[in-house]
Amino acid sequence: NAGVTQTPKFQVLKTGQSMTLQCAQDMNHEYMSWYRQDPGMGLRLIHYSVGAGITDQGEVPNGYNVSRSTTEDFPLRLLSAAPSQTSVYFCASSPSRGYGYTFGSGTRLTVV
Amino acid sequence: AQTVTQSQPEMSVQEAETVTLSCTYDTSESDYYLFWYKQPPSRQMILVIRQEAYKQQNATENRFSVNFQKAAKSFSLKISDSQLGDAAMYFCASSDTGRRALTFGSGTRLQVQP
């Protein structure tokens, strides 16, 4: 049982490049979400999904795109990377809202 | 919209002693859940304890317990018999029906002195 798998673990991008952060879970969880963690600011919600085909915006969605075509996968796309998107990104999943979320190990992204 | 506030950026405790981390929250919903997560230097997010808002009884998990004061919208975490392995960032979080994901506080860094 792998839990929540995020790839890559580290990435350096140049300003203006695009990329996709991958997130996959093998627990058949309906709820999935993406967060970014910046020093002194905790984790902030980017986008979330309550099931395949259903996504919604969080607190800081600008510059990011998501889709959920399967229960297992919830990729996060950076459309045109900016230095302000330098952060650690976490994906998480849960079987229901009150159960508690299982987190991936995170992706450290640097945009230069 | 939910908000979660942690007013203690850093705390320190002696090994084997007890420490309490504070958290306040705000939500307009009556149905919500509260959580404490631990983030050690490995950066892995680990669920420590959860509380259902409609339950009066405070949650307990081994050395970890909460003091849930619903009217005051307060949700503090008590760590008893602190161990060196408890040193980490601790995040308070909430989830309600309006947003089916987590809203986090800014975190408290806990140091444990030997």
Task: Write out pLDDT tens, residues B30-60.
Answer: 899 999 999 999 999 999 999 999 998 999 9
The pLDDT confidence band at residue A2, using thresholds 50, 70 and 90, is confident
Best A89, A103, A105 residue to mutate vs chain B (most B CBs within 10 Å)? A103
Q: CA nearest B100 in A: which residue?
A: A97
The pLDDT confidence band at residue A76, using thresholds 50, 70 and 90, is very high
Contacts of A35 in chain B (CB under 8 A): 102, 104
| Residue whose structure tokens are 């705390």 | B11
> CB A101 to CB B99 under 8 A?
no
> CB B106 to CB A40 under 8 A?
yes
User: Quick one: CA dihedral B98, B31, B68, B111, positive or negative?
Assistant: negative
Q: Which of A42, A97, A103 sits opposite B44 (nearest CB)?
A: A103
Choose among A25, A43, A15, A42: nearest CA to A110. A15
Pair of tokens at residue A81? 């990377």
C-alpha dist (Å) from residue A67 to A47, A50, A81, B114: 10, 11, 18, 48
- DSSP, collapsed to helix, strand or coil, labels residue B7 as coil
Does residue A58 carry a pLDDT above 90?
A: yes
The pLDDT confidence band at residue A1, using thresholds 50, 70 and 90, is low
| CB contact residues (below 8 A), chain A span 85-104, against chain B | 88, 90, 92, 97-103
C-alpha dist (Å) from residue A41 to A49, A88, B86: 23, 12, 21
